[in-house]
Amino acid sequence: MILFKTAESLGQYLAKNIAETRKTGFVPTMGALHNGHLELIRASKQRGAFTVCSIFVNPTQFNDPKDFEKYPVTIDHDLLLLANSGCDLVFLPSVAEIYPAGTVLTRAFDLGYLETILEGRYRPGHFQGVCQVVHRLLEIVRPQILFIGQKDYQQCMVISKLVALSGWNIEIEIVPTLREPSGLALSSRNLRLTPENKTAATAIYHSLQYLKQSLQPGPLEGYIEQARTMLVQAGFEKIDYVAIADAGTLMETTNWNGNTRLVGLVAAFIGGIRLIDNMPLTGAGEDHRKL
Ligand code: AMP
């Protein structure tokens, strides 16, 4: 595995060493890597792609500066995991490398309503920051395939929109969420949970499972109320949202016609840590591509 810290050295290496016929697969991350991230690496390896992973804790996507300061950094462990998973190249840029003109947003990405609902509503500016960094990283790495996790469902839609807006010919592969045996979705933020809160946090998974198993056509309000109650009873101190939405558009659905594909989405705080998760509610399994 090779490591680069500058865009220039990375670009030169790729231009010289990767045959034009070989695809580059790209996995952008913020580090504090876990097996969920490695699923994306494995997906890229499975496609036979030269696999590039970036680790960059992007300051512009944190609407809460304290959240940014406390974001876990485990770089030595990350590099070990990546090397063992067969990652070919790691890009570890500095803030100045990614934002040579400073971190003030100088352009706006037209994300439409996606920016004002769910995560966009509770984390103003978050998706502009995500687009800013992903756009810059794609410009540097120039991959043919981009691997992103279904765990961040709305982010998958935002990044798809970004790629469409940019006109780049990049295939996006969305990788299903990897969970602990308890059902808790793997997340870098789990590192900050106490063991008790980690156990209690499985209520997110159970509330989504409850939605999936009980949903009937008609008004959905009662199901949402019950899912919220499950979270409160487990010890979640604040719920940003429990929502049921059209899986294709993410528009909230309050009355189900029995046909529209649905996804359930949750964002809630336990022990001061904000966790998000989602689950396709229609069709078998959790992989949204198989609905
Ligand atoms: P992050 O480091 O949190 O920015 O995540 C980097 C990438 O890993 C994103 O595309 C995430 O959606 C993906 N990811 C995070 N957690 C999981 C998980 N449990 N399973 C699959 N992919 C994940």
Q: What are the tens digits of pLDDT across the range 122-145?
A: 999 999 999 999 999 999 999 999
Specify the pLDDT at position 288.
64
Which residues, other chains included, contact 17 with Cβ-Cβ below 8 Å and sequence gap of 6+? none
Q: What is the pLDDT of residues 144-201, one digit of tens each?
A: 999 999 999 999 999 999 999 999 999 999 999 999 999 999 999 999 999 999 999 9
- The answer to whether 178 and 36 are in contact (CB under 8 A) is yes
Sign of the CA dihedral with 115 first, then 120, 126, and 131 last: negative
| Banded pLDDT at 289 (limits 50, 70, 90) | low
pLDDT at 284 over 80: no
The C-alpha atoms of residue 254 and residue 219 are separated, in whole angstroms, by: 6
Beta bridge partners of 255: 219
- Closest residue by CA, ligand 1 atom 7: 29
The proportion of the chain whose per-residue pLDDT surpasses 70, expressed as a percent, equals 98
Catalytic residue positions?
A: 37
Do strands 171-175 and 145-149 pair parallel, antiparallel, or not at all (unpaired)? parallel
Mean pLDDT for 258-268 is 97
Q: Which of 42, 57, 119, 152 to mutate to test the pocket of ligand 1 (most atoms within 8 A of CB)?
A: 152
| Average model confidence (pLDDT) across the chain | 95
Q: What is the pLDDT, as a whole number, of residue 291?
A: 43
Of 29, 67, 155, the residue with max ligand 1 atoms within 8 A of its CB, to mutate for a pocket test, comes to 29
Flag whether pLDDT at 202 surpasses 60: yes
Verify whether ligand 1 is closer than 6 Å to residue 39 (CB atom).
Answer: yes
Q: With contact defined as beta carbons under 8 Å apart, do 128 and 109 qualify?
A: yes
**Residue pLDDT, tens place only, 99-130:** 999 888 878 999 999 999 999 999 999 999 99
Tell me, what DSSP letter sits at residue 176?
A: P
25 lines ligand 1 (CB under 6 A): no
Separation between Cα atoms, residue 263 and residue 267, nearest integer Å: 14
Start-to-end C-alpha separation, the chain: 36
Kindly state the DSSP code that residue 47 receives in the 8-state scheme.
T
Contact between residue 91 and residue 14 where contact means Cβ atoms under 8 Å apart: no
Residue 127 and residue 155 in contact, taking contact as beta carbons nearer than 8 Å = yes
Residue 275 DSSP code = E
pLDDT of residue 119: 98
Residue 279, classified by CB atoms within 10 Å of its CB into exposed (0-12), middle (13-18) or buried (19+), is buried
pLDDT at 285 over 80: no
CA atoms within 13 A on the CB side of 126: 21
Separation of CA 222 and ligand 1 centre (Å): 31
- In eight-state DSSP terms, residue 286 is S
Mean pLDDT, range 203-218, rounded to an integer: 98
Q: What local confidence, expressed as pLDDT, does residue 9 receive?
A: 97
